[in-house]
């Protein structure tokens, strides 16, 4: 039987553990601003979280790390790469696109690159086989090295808009010929696609940083049925932290009409959605917004395409996730030029990011 002193200490530890756990589980204030530091100081929330977990483990209130999945606090940093529109690289500047693919492969281990996301407009003219060959060769550096997913853009489709008939952009025959669903089905991370047998819309899952992630790709201006499918995919993965990838959503810090629809009919509805990535418009910006469930969604857009100059087309985004520091650092880099864009819209750190622990 415990002595009165032991009982008092035990009771205090229990109270502290329960209090601290409740504090650390509250949604934290999240700010995004330019900050070139890669290692942010430990926050009050993180300090409480670590103390709470230590006390709780010692009391048997939670499972010890030896018997549980790796938590975000214990996990290693990782990176993802987001490629914006490569249409003019495929058309006229293949060296820029090739350098991007090669860099991702070569830096897979040093940057712990777990996934690559392409925001669409892989090519400029979907009926030009040479452009698809350039794109396939550039993305081919990733095959067997870094898994990737593509959000189909309007230039990747068989026809451009014509008058008031939006159905003229619905077919993606050339895209499916060059990036068929069969190319991705063998990936352990491949979850499914819609329509069945086509790669127009798809989702992949992976684990990194002590978190289970879901990437949902929706093609340019998704139909109601495609949004319904996307909603069901997210609903079927309530314990995954979600990234939505779609070609046209915002221009800088302003949502487009397409983006407003995708936000209201899909993104805002789910508590586990944390990111939306898009391109389409020549701009760069982020919208930080609360969803219907109080979760913060970071909507990040970038597109550097330039028909007349090689250099702008060579930039992409490298996002470094550091679960221990609770940060996501965004870098805009050109492997072809070995240069960065370091203005506030292109280099910034999201602090106090809430990594969802894997189940």
- Residue 177 forms part of a structural domain: yes
* Residue 195 preceded by cis peptide, ω within 30: yes
φ/ψ region of 85 (left if φ > 0, alpha if ψ in -120 to 50, else beta) reads beta
Q: How far apart are CA 286 and CA 273, in angstroms?
A: 15
Query: Could you give the number of structural domains in the chain?
Result: 2
In which band, very low, low, confident or very high, does the pLDDT at 359 lie, cut at 50, 70 and 90? confident
Q: Minimum mean pLDDT among 36-40, 95-99, 148-152, 191-195: which range?
A: 36-40
Residues 15 and 138 in one domain: no
- Average pLDDT value over all residues in the chain: 85
Least confident piece of the model among 9-18, 149-158, 193-202, 203-212: 9-18
- In angstroms, the CA 250 to CA 219 distance is 14
pLDDT value at position 45?
A: 41
CATH number of the domain encompassing residue 166: 3.60.21.10
Of the pLDDT bands very low, low, confident and very high (cuts 50, 70, 90), residue 67 is: very low
| In contact, 105 and 147? CB cutoff 8 Å | no
Q: What's the pLDDT at 72?
A: 81
pTM over 0.95: no
Q: Are residues 63 and 103 in the same domain?
A: no
In a domain, 234, yes or no: yes
Q: With bands split at pLDDT 50, 70 and 90, how would you rate the model's confidence at 146? A: very high
- Write down the pLDDT at residue 20: 43
**Both 294 and 181 in a single domain?**
yes
359 part of a folded domain: no
CB half-sphere exposure, 147, CA atoms < 13 A: 17
Residues 6+ apart with CB under 8 A from 243: 117, 213, 214, 215, 216, 274, 275, 276, 277
What pLDDT score does 152 carry?
Answer: 98
Helix (H) or strand (E) run with residue 44 in it: helix 44-59
Q: Are 235 and 278 members of one domain? A: yes
DSSP 165: B
Of 31, 49, 67, the residue at which a domain comes to its end is 67
pLDDT band at 163 (very low <50, low <70, confident <90, very high): low
- Domain membership of residue 356 (yes or no) is no
Is the predicted pLDDT of residue 26 greater than 50, yes or no?
no
Same domain, 114 and 27: no
Are 148 and 181 found together in one domain? yes
* 254 and 319 within one domain: yes
Per the structure, the complete domain to which residue 26 belongs is given by 4-67
Assess contact for 172 and 157: CB atoms under 8 A. yes
Residue 48: inside a domain, yes or no? yes
The verdict on 243 and 335 lying in the same domain is yes
Residues 192-234: tens digit of each pLDDT: 999 999 999 999 999 999 999 999 999 999 999 999 999 999 9
* 90 lies in the same domain as 56: no
**For the chain, how big is the Rg over CA atoms in Å?**
22
């Amino acid at each position: 039987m415990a002595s009165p002193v032991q009982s008092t200490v035990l009771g205090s530890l229990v109270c502290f553990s329960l209090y601290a756990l409740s504090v650390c589980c509250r949604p934290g204030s999240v700010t995004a601003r330019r900050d070139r530091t890669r290692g942010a100081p430990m926050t009050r929330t993180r300090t409480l979280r670590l103390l709470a977990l230590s006390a709780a483990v010692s009391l048997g209130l939670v499972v010890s790390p030896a018997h549980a999945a790796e938590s975000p606090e214990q996990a290693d940093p990782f990176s993802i790469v987001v490629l914006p529109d490569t249409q003019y690289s495929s058309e006229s500047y293949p060296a820029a696109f090739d350098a991007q693919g090669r860099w991702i492969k070569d830096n897979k281990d040093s940057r712990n690159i777990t996934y690559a996301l392409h925001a669409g407009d892989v090519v400029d003219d979907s009926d030009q086989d040479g452009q698809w060959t350039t794109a396939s060769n550039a993305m081919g550096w990733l095959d067997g090295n870094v898994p990737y997913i593509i959000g189909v853009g309007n230039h990747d489709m068989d026809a451009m808009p014509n008058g008031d008939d939006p159905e003229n952009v619905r077919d993606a025959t050339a895209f499916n010929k060059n990036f068929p669903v069969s190319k991705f089905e063998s990936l352990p991370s491949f979850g499914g696609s819609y329509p069945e047998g086509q790669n127009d819309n798809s989702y992949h899952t992976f684990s990194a940083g002590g978190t289970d992630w879901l990437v949902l790709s929706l093609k340019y201006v998704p139909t109601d049925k495609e949004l319904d499918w996307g909603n069901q995919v997210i609903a079927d993965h309530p314990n995954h932290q979600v990234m939505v990838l779609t070609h046209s959503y915002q221009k800088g810090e302003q949502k487009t009409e397409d983006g407003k629809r995708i936000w209201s009919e899909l993104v805002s509805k789910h508590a586990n959605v944390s990111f939306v990535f898009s391109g389409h418009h020549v701009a760069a910006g982020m919208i930080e917004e609360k969803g219907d469930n109080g979760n913060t969604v970071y909507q990040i857009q970038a597109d550097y395409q330039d028909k007349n100059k090689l250099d702008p087309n060579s930039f992409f985004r490298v996002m470094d996730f550091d679960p221990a520091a609770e940060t996501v650092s965004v870098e805009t880099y050109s492997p072809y030029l070995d240069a960065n864009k370091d203005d506030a819209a292109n280099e910034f750190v999201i602090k106090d990011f809430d990594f969802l622990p894997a189940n």
